Amino acid sequence: MLLKRASDIPPSEITPESHYRDRRRFLKTVAMTGAALVSGALKPGSLIANVPDQDTQWKPGPRGPFDTNEQVTPYKDITTYNNFYEFGSDKEDPSRNAQGFRTQPWIVKIDGEVRKPASYHVEDLLKLHKQEDRIYRHRCVEGWSMVIPWLGFPMADVIKKVEPTSRAKFVELTTLYDPEQMPSHRTRLLPWPYVEGLRMDEALHPLAIFAVGLYGKMLPNQNGAPFRLVVPWKYGFKSIKSVVRIRFVEQQPRTTWNDAAPNEYGFYSNVNPEVDHPRWSQKFERRIGEFFKRRTLAFNGYAEQVAHLYSGMDLRKFF
């Protein structure tokens, strides 16, 4: 068992009071972004620019039940080694090309099989649940991995608020489509806009979160500001960035990578060392910053939490 109860946490791991107060102040800032952003007082990312030495200054809050104890990946790597094809296909492209991306105002449309379809200002969605650190492993299908201290809240909170009907079996999420701001939208690099999907029980699982920040600060644009999905037991491409639409549907939705290469990327895309990508093995991964490869864990190490969702399914067929 890897779960830790609060009483098991050594005092050295508990956030010192001063950091805690700093965090509280930031969370208040997040709650106020509506007002601050509208007045132009605060640009997303500006908090980050003010604090160059993130790695040493950030201290996690109280441990969450799913947090990994592994060393977190340096802020610099998390924010300069990215996949965000809308801004280019090289790892450094998003951090270079997304700096001017406008993430406010940001409206998220929620529709489909729900009793309360509506368009929400992202700030109003953030009010549904306090933002918490979630220290998750992050495993890209290409074979690299990181450990990221996300700041976010359960996807389930949004779902419950809009009251899906009994016909809602899947959730489809869509990234902003804006050829003017996202250079790759003027190319055929991928079928646009980027879309992803989850089965309803996956979406309701408490490990699945909407992230609005990392390292205790607002999400940098290259990491999917202002609002992105994080599903840590699946390959990274399921964790869709800069979400503008959440649609509840009866049929399994199309997904971008499955459309682009159906034999390489399935709908489920659970991290599975036993099922190789047609062009490479998935047995090992390179943790960014480490030299030796490590073994990839089933469900990215979250089998205890999520394996039951797939009992009776042939995971070679439903890859």
Question: Per 3-state DSSP, what percentage of the chain is helix, strand, and coil (rounded to 5)?
Answer: 30, 20, 50
Tokens of 170: 């899947």
Among the listed ranges 56-64, 76-84, 164-172, 302-310, the one in contact with ligand MTE (CB under 6 A) is: 76-84
- Distances from the Cα of 95 to the Cα of 85, 88, 137, angstroms: 11, 10, 21
Cis link prior to 183 (omega < 30° from 0)? no
Binding to ligand MTE by residue 241, rule CB under 6 A?
Answer: yes
In the complex with ligand MTE, which residue's Cβ is closer, 150 or 153? 150
Do 156 and 149 touch, CB atoms closer than 8 A?
A: no
Give how many residues touch ligand MTE by CB under 6 A. 17
**Rounded-to-integer distance, Cα 228 and Cα 242, Å:** 5
Contacting residues toward Mo ion, per CB under 5 A: 83, 140-141, 236-237
Rounded to a whole number of angstroms, the minimum distance from the CB of residue 119 to ligand MTE is 19
Rounded to a whole number of angstroms, the minimum distance from the CB of residue 237 to ligand MTE is 4
Tokens of 215: 């390292």
Question: Quick one: which of 134, 155, 9, 152 has its CA closest to 68?
Answer: 134
Rounded to a whole number of angstroms, the minimum distance from the CB of residue 239 to Mo ion is 8
Among the listed ranges 7-15, 109-117, 240-248, 293-301, the one in contact with ligand MTE (CB under 6 A) is: 240-248
**Rounded-to-integer distance, Cα 231 and Cα 208, Å:** 5
| Residue 197: contacted member of ligand MTE, Mo ion, none (CB under 5 to 8 Å, by partner type) | none
**Rounded-to-integer distance, Cα 275 and Cα 234, Å:** 13
Quick note: the x/- pattern for ligand MTE over 286-305, rule CB under 6 A, is: --------------------
Rounded to a whole number of angstroms, the minimum distance from the CB of residue 1 to ligand MTE is 28
Please select the residue that binds ligand MTE; options are 73, 175, 270, 296, rule is CB under 6 A: 175
In the complex with ligand MTE, which residue's Cβ is closer, 140 or 218? 140
Please select the residue that binds ligand MTE; options are 125, 240, 249, 271, rule is CB under 6 A: 240
Do 300 and 249 touch, CB atoms closer than 8 A?
A: no
Beta strands in 30-143 (DSSP E): 107-112, 118-121, 132-139
Quick note: the x/- pattern for ligand MTE over 120-159, rule CB under 6 A, is: ------------------x-x-------------------
Rounded to a whole number of angstroms, the minimum distance from the CB of residue 20 to ligand MTE is 26
Sign of CA dihedral 147, 151, 156, 159: negative
Beta strands in 189-304 (DSSP E): 195-199, 209-214, 217-218, 228-230, 243-249, 284-287, 294-295
| Residue 86: contacted member of ligand MTE, Mo ion, none (CB under 5 to 8 Å, by partner type) | ligand MTE
In the complex with ligand MTE, which residue's Cβ is closer, 239 or 258? 239
Rounded to a whole number of angstroms, the minimum distance from the CB of residue 258 to Mo ion is 14
Q: Which DSSP symbol is given to 223?
A: G
The residues that touch ligand MTE, with contacts defined as CB under 6 A, are 82-86, 138, 140, 175, 194, 223-224, 236-237, 239-242
